[in-house]
Amino acid sequence: MDPIYRLLVFVHVFSAILGMGPGFYLTALAKSAKNMTELRHAFALRHKLHVYVMIGGTLLLVTGLSMGFLNRGLFRAGWYWTSLALYLIALAMGPFVLSPRTKPIKRLLASHKGEEIPEEYEKLAKSLFRAEYLENFIFLVIIALMIAKPF
């Protein structure tokens, strides 16, 4: 195997760990909060972890496409195109699904006084977490496709 292609595979796998690993933990981090101080801290940590998700996610896309250009056979594989389509859907979920659900939570965190987590948060968080679970499921399907290469 070409050394450049091997390097791309290495960076691709490393990027998946760097980018997707923290992404799977974001929901659990916020769900563990017992009061507003912990919740604010959890969302601050989520924000910091999201940087790794974005860096890893960008590297995933770049290395995945680069491997396709070096190994044209990937462009004829159904699992590759399916993975790419699902990845682009998951990527689009950020600004179109997750961000609109996160903004009201951030406003609530900034304005709420007291330590008790308000009921309004629970409703907002449920909607956000449901979208995050869907995105995590999409990523699991992508991982399964890349491992199994079924078609």
The predicted structure's pLDDT at residue 18 = 86
How far is 24 from 101, CA to CA, in rounded Å? 17
User: What does the block give as tokens for 88?
Assistant: 């682009």
Q: Name residues of the chain where pLDDT drops below 70.
A: none
CB distance 40 to 110 below 8 Å: no
Question: Is the separation of the CB atoms in 76 and 21 below 8 Å?
Answer: no
The domain locations on the chain are: 3-148
Residue 1's pLDDT is: 72
**Looking at residue 111, what is its pLDDT?**
96
Q: What is the largest CA-CA distance in the chain?
A: 60
Instruction: Encode pLDDT of 33-72 as tens digits.
Output: 999 999 999 999 999 999 999 999 999 999 999 999 999 9
Residue 19 is predicted with a pLDDT of 87
Query: What does pTM read for this prediction?
Result: 0.90
